[in-house]
Amino acid sequence: MKSKFGHIVFHSLPENQSFYHELFMFLGWKNLYQDENMLGVGLDDGSSFWFSTPIKEFINDYDGPGVNHVGINTSTKAEVDETVKFLQSKGIVALFETPRHRPEFSGGEDQTYYQVMFESPDRILFEIVYIGSKQ
């Protein structure tokens, strides 16, 4: 069998769709679909994220059972820093003393793992990360 990542559907409040649209357009994703109840963004490899209207009221606890966070890789450390500025312009604060290097996750002395963690308006935890050579 040969498989690959396909898509993830997130439930989000309709009033927060503009945040996800702006974030993923900033990150270089394509707008696949958008109406008042659903937003789809994707990459050229066919993978996608979908943000749809929730079916019931529930407060997400990313430290409970289920998904902890969604990681999105960048090509450079500078792109992580650009994302921090974008988030600040939207009033989104970085969490867990990020942005910062995480040497315990890097591939060696000449490598880095540089991340920013943040919570979306729907309490979805995201990580934007550069993994690669120290620059």
pLDDT digits (tens, 9 = 90+) for 98-134: 999 999 998 888 999 999 999 999 999 999 999 999 8
pLDDT digits (tens, 9 = 90+) for 78-101: 999 999 999 999 999 999 999 999
CATH number at residue 111: 3.10.180.10
Say if residues 106 and 112 touch (Cβ distance below 8 Å): yes
Does a structural domain hold residue 63? no
Does a structural domain hold residue 124? yes
Residue 72 shares a structural domain with residue 128: yes
Instruction: Report the chain's mean pLDDT, rounded to a whole number.
Output: 93
Cis peptide before 14 (omega within 30 of 0): no
Residue 73 shares a structural domain with residue 113: yes
pTM confidence score: 0.90
> How many other C-beta atoms lie within 10 A of the C-beta of residue 107?
11
The CA distance from 63 to 53, in Å, is: 22
Residue 40: domain span: 1-55
**How sure is the predictor about 54, in pLDDT bands with cuts at 50, 70 and 90?**
confident
> How many other C-beta atoms lie within 10 A of the C-beta of residue 77?
20
- Whether pLDDT at 58 is above 90: no
Q: Order of strands, edge to edge, in the sheet holding 94-101?
A: 70-73, 125-133, 111-119, 94-101
pLDDT, position 75: 95
Residue 14 shares a structural domain with residue 73: no
Domain count along the chain: 2
Does a structural domain hold residue 38? yes
The CA distance from 89 to 38, in Å, is: 24
Residue 88 shares a structural domain with residue 109: yes
